[in-house]
């Protein structure tokens, strides 16, 4: 993978990862918000039902006030006729139990001929209350004995004949009066005060509120919504005393509000994400531009040089040929090498060699870029190539005061592309000359190993070395290990790329390995190891 | 206060066995009598005491009490089609009968209750018409809620001088909210206590007559059975006309019997409106219409008593006089002679009372017959109805009573229609007759 692809990937990640992260978190937040809104809508229904219960409580309190007044107005007598008449005048009740301070029933009179049929029926249905001591215990808790230590009034609900009935009792220290409040009366009072369904067309709320009694039966309901048989109420609230077992339920269509809120938020989120994406994309694009500008410029340069190189090759060949001829003539004339003419000639030869290597590299690189690079194997002895290459570089290395050490043991004849091997080594030596000049030393080691028969060649220097992290990057075209390093160093930045391509075409590789001294200890400097397989590699077929 | 004073308490001690309060033009006429003007001495016997009330004549249209009525209309699914259209026509007919100072509200119910026209002066006819036009059918039957809301509207402008009514029109059973006859009866009772009566109008053959009858009776209102919706408008017209002729409301009859006489029961009246304690009987009567008669028949058990002239009963009739807008009370005492002369006793029969007794006994038996029929004991019910018809027929010829003759024929008809497709209809006819005095059956009283 080359640096641009990695950069591209990195930049894509830079755009995509925050987008996905923000999008995911945002989407979740919107979802939470929607759930929250839904919950608050529903708890709003619950609140409404609670305030409805409060309203009912107000009605009940009003009822209680009236009942308290009746109880107080009830004559302090056991004369049934007087009590009856007093009760008959009260609109909210018509029957009552009166117990004396010992909890004994004194009215209605349990005496045949004095008790009326209605009273008898009333006594019958309230038997558990006055006989079972329900009132007594309630009263004893309270003020019946004069010690006001507990409630002196309250509700008792009881069931009779399938209906719920209520007694409201009041103890004043001398007696307990329990007034009957029929369930129907209480319902009538509630229903008359609860809202009705707005007339068709005036109601757009599509809601239904249901008041259900202790048995779950609907007592009253209002609102235009007709809930389905199995529809779950949006809110259910149990009511307060004396209607503890009653419930208020609220039915409503799925609220569109949370959905609308979520919709708005989602739109905003998508817009935000789009904006963020755009910003990140623009940022990434700028970075991409900045990062690739150099490469593009270099590539353009190479491209230009590539074209120029073709033009240069022919004159350069002529220059080299005539330089060689001139050198031969000098040698024939046995001129002193120290002669200025001889030195000038050497420079011409060296620089033209260098120029031709440059051109060769450029042309090779161009072919590599266009996937036209190929190798041509033939039987050669690797050491011969190495010796020849070292000889070619000799003057330049010498001028750079770099001592050359060799450990050559690749004497076997194997099938390689000698030009490729030469180019690889040449590039490596050229790099040593350029970047490891400070080490003043280079060592070339060659071996031919069995297994798959292969040439292993190491080029070790004592220069600044290459950090482990950058061992791969150095092979990227136009990349240089450090600006500091490359300060004042010329070059195209394509040498190692070409070298590796050529090595890989041989089915081998070129890599940076750990530098080791002769004793196997790690030492400073850089070591390139070339492995080229002698067997024909797959790419060789082409 | 002045009116209270003018509502003089009148007491007349009848020398013989017949007592009647003077027919004051602005007072309810009260007559009370035993079925025999002379009682047997030293003999345990059953006697009947009839108290008849007659409404006085209203001094023209101006004199009548303003109405305060809520018309409650069932608009459940079963009312769809012509029924709801006829109900609208009926409501319009009712509106036409109203005076400008009357108050009317229109409430409609299905699953829930809508107040189409809140309590409004009848002079605002246009908005009432608009409310009526909004009526359309569909849904369930929240009868309880409908009546309660109707009563709520009535309550808004309730004054004692008005005739405060809920008029309920339904063609079906209640199925949302309290829906049993006893619960609706309870509702009727508490409304009555407030001074609101409910007139229930059963339409067609699908309604629950027990429930409608209970509600009407307990509230002191009337029950009307309308078989076909095309009769609706006419019935409403009449009914609202009659409503305007109510002269007395909150009518309570209190009878106190002398020692030696024991009240057994009041014949042919709803138990809820009767309270018997010791020697005293209190009966709450429905409102009384102008020139119309209502009565109650009390069965007595008389212990063997020595020959004497005894004040056997005092009768107090208290009511709210709609014409004078004041509480009124008519009191009287009834004396009877106890004799050993059996011949004299049997000659002292009072035909008017006997007719009433026969008719009420028949009424009681008719209730029993319905119960038997409901239990599926058709043959027994039939026999009871036939016995009824026979007894009434004999009574009719003995006392020359057209009323009994007519009733006898009706019971005969009932006996033949306790089964088959006519039964449903007939049950409604009988139930209505069972709770209303024959005088009121003639009219479509609301």
Q: B112 to chain A: which residues are within 8 Å by CB? A: 196-197, 208, 221-224
Closest chain B residue by Cα to residue A108: B277
Tens-digit pLDDT profile for residues B21-32: 555 678 899 999
Q: Do B167 and B201 form a contact (C-beta atoms < 8 A)?
A: yes
Q: Is residue A292 part of a domain?
A: no
Q: What tens-digit pLDDT sequence spans chain A (542 residues)?
A: 566 777 788 888 888 888 899 889 988 988 888 888 888 888 888 888 999 999 989 989 988 998 999 888 888 888 888 888 888 777 778 889 888 877 788 888 888 778 887 888 888 888 877 876 666 665 555 544 555 555 678 888 887 776 778 889 888 777 888 998 888 888 888 898 888 888 866 666 788 899 998 888 888 999 888 888 888 888 899 998 888 889 999 988 877 777 788 888 889 889 999 999 999 899 888 888 887 787 777 777 667 767 777 787 788 888 888 888 888 887 777 767 677 887 788 888 878 887 887 788 777 877 777 777 788 888 888 888 899 888 888 888 888 889 999 998 888 888 888 888 888 998 898 888 888 888 889 999 999 888 888 899 999 998 888 888 888 888 887 765 555 544 455 666 778 888 888 888 888 899 998 888 777 777 888 899 999 888 654 444 33
Nearest C-alpha of chain A: how many angstroms from B391?
A: 31
Residue A157 lies in a domain: yes
Structure tokens at B36: 């025999």
3-state secondary structure at position A457? strand
CB-based contact B182 A94, cutoff 8 Å: no
Domain boundary among A152, A172, A188: A188
Distance of alpha carbon A295 from alpha carbon A18, whole angstroms: 28
Please give the ipTM for the structure prediction.
0.77
Query: Is residue A471, in this structure, part of any structural domain at all?
Result: yes
Task: Supply B46's token pair.
Answer: 């059953």
**What per-residue confidence (pLDDT) applies to B2?**
41
- Phi and psi of B225, rounded to 5°? -110, 120
For residue A423, the model assigns a pLDDT of 87
CB-nearest to A220 from B145, B186, B187 is B145
Q: In this structure, what are the phi and psi dihedrals at residue A373, rounded to the nearest 5 degrees?
A: -75, 135
Domain count across chain A:
2
Architecture of domain B2-55+247-348: Sandwich (2.60)
Q: How far is A243 from chain B (nearest CA, A)?
A: 16
Copy the structure tokens of residue B60: 């023209």
Give the separation between CA B135 and CA B130, rounded to whole angstroms. Answer: 9
Select from B190, B264, B318 the residue whose CB has the most chain A CBs within 10 Å, as the one to mutate to test that interface.
B190
Task: For residue range B212-239, list pLDDT tens digits in order.
Answer: 988 998 888 888 888 888 888 888 888 8
In B, minimum Cα distance to A87 occurs at B193
Q: Do A199 and B114 touch (CB under 8 A)?
A: yes
Q: Which residue of B has its CA nearest to A80?
A: B277
List B residues 84-123 in contact with A (Cβ-Cβ < 8 A).
107, 111-116
| Cβ-Cβ contacts under 8 Å for B268 (sequence gap 6 or more) | B297, B359, B360, B363, B364, B367, B434
Residue A404 lies in a domain: yes
The pLDDT of residue A139 is 55
- Which domain-ending residue is among A155, A188, A221? A188
pTM for this predicted structure: 0.65
Closest Cβ–Cβ partner in B113, B148, B177 for A197: B113
Distance CA A253, CA A231 (A): 10
Contact B134 A200 (CB under 8 A): yes
Domain around A159: 74-188
Give residue B310's pLDDT: 92
Q: Can you give the residue ranges of every domain in chain B? A: 2-55+247-348, 65-244, 352-437
- Closest residue in B to A194 (Cα) is B149
Is there a domain that residue A109 lies in?
A: yes
Domain spanning B65-244: CATH 2.60.120.10: no
A6 in a structural domain: no
Q: Tell me if B155 and A192 make a contact (CB, 8 A cut-off).
A: yes
For residue B161, the Cα-to-chain-centroid distance in whole angstroms is 20
Rounded Cα distance, A523 and A516, in Å: 5
Question: Is residue A441 in a domain?
Answer: yes
* List of chain B residues whose C-beta atoms are within 8 Å of the C-beta of residue A210: none
Most A CBs within 10 Å: which of B70, B105, B111, B259, as the mutation test of the A interface?
B111
Residues from chain B contacting residue A198 (CB–CB below 8 Å): 114
Q: Is the CB of residue B176 less than 8 Å away from at least one CB of chain A?
A: yes
Interface test with A, best of B148, B180, B193 (most A CBs within 10 A): B148
Helix H or strand E segment including B68: strand B67-74
Chain-centre distance for alpha carbon A461: 48
Best of A112, A218, A223 to disrupt the B interface by mutation (most B CBs within 10 Å)?
A: A218
Domain containing A86 — which CATH number?
3.30.450
Residue A396 lies in a domain: yes
A91 and B142 within 8 Å at the Cβ level: the answer is no
The CATH number of residue A426's host domain is 3.30.565.10
């Amino acid at each position: 993978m080359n640096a641009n692809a990695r950069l591209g990937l990195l930049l894509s990640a830079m755009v995509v990862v925050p987008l996905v992260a923000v999008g995911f978190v945002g989407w979740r937040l919107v979802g939470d918000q929607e759930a929250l809104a839904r919950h608050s809508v529903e708890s709003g229904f619950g609140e409404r039902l609670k305030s409805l219960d409060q309203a009912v409580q107000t009605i009940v309190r009003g009822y209680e006030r009236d009942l308290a007044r009746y109880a107080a107005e009830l004559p302090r007598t056991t004369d049934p006729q007087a009590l009856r008449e007093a009760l008959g005048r009260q609109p909210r009740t018509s029957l009552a139990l009166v117990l004396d301070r010992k909890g004994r029933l004194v009215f209605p009179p349990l005496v045949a001929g004095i008790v009326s049929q209605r009273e008898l029926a009333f006594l019958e249905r309230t038997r558990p209350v006055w006989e079972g001591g329900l009132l007594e215990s309630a009263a004893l808790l309270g003020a019946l004995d004069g010690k006001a230590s507990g409630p002196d009034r309250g509700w008792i609900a009881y069931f009779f004949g399938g209906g719920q009935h209520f007694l409201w009792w009041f103890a004043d220290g001398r007696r307990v009066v329990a007034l009957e409040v029929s369930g129907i009366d209480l319902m009538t009072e509630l229903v008359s005060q609860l809202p009705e369904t707005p007339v068709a067309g005036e109601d757009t709320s599509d809601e239904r509120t249901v008041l259900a009694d202790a048995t779950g039966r609907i007592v009253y309901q209002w609102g235009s919504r007709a809930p389905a048989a199995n529809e779950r109420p949006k809110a259910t609230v149990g009511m307060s005393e004396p209607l503890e077992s009653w419930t208020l339920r609220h039915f409503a269509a799925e609220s569109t509000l949370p959905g609308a809120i979520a919709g708005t938020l989602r739109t905003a989120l998508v817009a935000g994400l789009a904006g963020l994406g755009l910003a990140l994309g623009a940022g990434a694009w700028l970075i991409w531009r900045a990062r690739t500008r150099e490469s593009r410029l270099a590539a353009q340069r190479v491209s230009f040089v590539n074209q120029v190189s073709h033009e240069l090759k022919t004159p350069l060949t002529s220059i080299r040929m005539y330089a060689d001829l001139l050198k031969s003539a000098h040698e024939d004339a046995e001129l002193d090498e120290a002669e200025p003419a001889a030195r000038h000639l050497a420079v011409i030869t060296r620089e033209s060699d260098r120029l031709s290597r440059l051109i060769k590299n450029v042309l090779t690189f161009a072919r590599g870029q266009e996937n036209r690079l190929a190798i041509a194997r033939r039987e050669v002895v690797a050491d011969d190539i190495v010796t020849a290459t070292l000889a070619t570089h000799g003057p330049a290395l010498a001028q750079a005061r770099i001592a050359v050490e060799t450990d050559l043991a690749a004497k076997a004849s194997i099938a390689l592309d000698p030009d490729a091997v030469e180019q690889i080594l040449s590039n490596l030596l050229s790099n040593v000359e350029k970047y490891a000049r400070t080490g003043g030393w280079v060592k070339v080691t060659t071996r031919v190993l069995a297994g798959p028969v292969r040439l292993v060649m190491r080029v070790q220097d004592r220069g600044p070395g290459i950090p482990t992290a950058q061992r791969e990057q150095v092979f990227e075209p136009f990349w240089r290990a450090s600006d500091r390093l490359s300060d004042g160093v010329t070059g195209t930045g394509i040498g190692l790329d070409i070298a590796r391509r050529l090595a890989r075409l041989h089915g081998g590789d070129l890599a940076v390995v750990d530098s080791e001294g002769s004793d196997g200890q790690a030492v400073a400097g850089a070591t390139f190891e070339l492995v080229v397989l002698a067997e024909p590699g797959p790419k060789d077929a082409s | 206060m002045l009116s209270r004073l003018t509502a003089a308490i009148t007491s007349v001690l009848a020398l013989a066995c017949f007592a009647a309060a003077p027919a004051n033009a602005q007072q309810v006429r009260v007559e009370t009598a035993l079925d025999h003007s002379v009682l047997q001495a030293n003999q345990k016997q059953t006697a009947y005491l009839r108290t008849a009330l007659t409404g006085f004549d209203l001094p023209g249209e101006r004199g009548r009490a303003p109405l305060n009525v809520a018309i409650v209309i069932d608009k459940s699914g079963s009312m769809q089609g012509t029924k709801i259209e006829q109900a609208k026509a009926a409501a319009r007919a009712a509106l036409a009968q109203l005076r400008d100072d009357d108050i009317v509200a229109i409430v409609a119910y299905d699953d829930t209750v809508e107040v189409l026209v809140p309590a409004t002066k009848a002079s605002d006819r246009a908005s009432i018409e608009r409310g009526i036009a909004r009526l359309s059918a569909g849904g369930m039957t929240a009868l309880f809620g409908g009546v309660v809301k109707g009563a709520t509207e009535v309550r808004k402008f309730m004054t004692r001088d008005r005739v405060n009514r809920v008029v309920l029109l339904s063609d079906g059973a209640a199925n949302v909210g309290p829906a049993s006859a006893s619960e609706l009866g309870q509702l009727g009772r508490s409304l009555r206590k407030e001074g609101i009566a409910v007139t229930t109008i059963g339409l067609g053959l699908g309604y629950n007559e027990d429930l409608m009858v209970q509600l009407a009776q307990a509230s002191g209102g009337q029950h009307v059975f309308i078989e076909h919706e095309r009769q609706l408008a006419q019935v409403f017209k009449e009914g609202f006309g009659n409503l305007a002729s109510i002269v007395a409301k909150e009518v309570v009859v209190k009878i106190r019997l002398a020692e030696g006489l024991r009240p057994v029961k009041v014949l042919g009246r709803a138990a809820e409106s009767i309270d018997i304690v010791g020697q005293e009987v209190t009966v709450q009567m429905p409102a009384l219409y102008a020139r119309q008669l209502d009565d109650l028949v009390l069965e007595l058990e008389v212990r063997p008593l020595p020959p004497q002239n005894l004040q056997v009963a005092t009768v107090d009739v208290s009511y709210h006089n709609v014409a004078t807008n004041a509480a009124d009370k008519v009191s009287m005492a009834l004396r009877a002679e106890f004799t050993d002369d059996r011949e004299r006793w049997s000659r002292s029969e009072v035909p008017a009372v006997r007719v009433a007794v026969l008719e009420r006994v028949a009424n009681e038996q008719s209730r029993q017959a319905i119960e038997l029929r409901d239990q599926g004991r058709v043959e027994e019910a039939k026999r009871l109805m036939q016995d009824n018809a026979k007894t009434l027929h004999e009574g009719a010829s003995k006392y020359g009573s057209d009323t009994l003759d007519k009733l006898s024929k009706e019971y005969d008809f009932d006996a033949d229609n306790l089964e088959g497709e006519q039964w449903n209809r007939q049950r409604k006819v009988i139930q209505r007759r069972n709770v209303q005095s024959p005088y009121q059956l003639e009219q479509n009283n609301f």
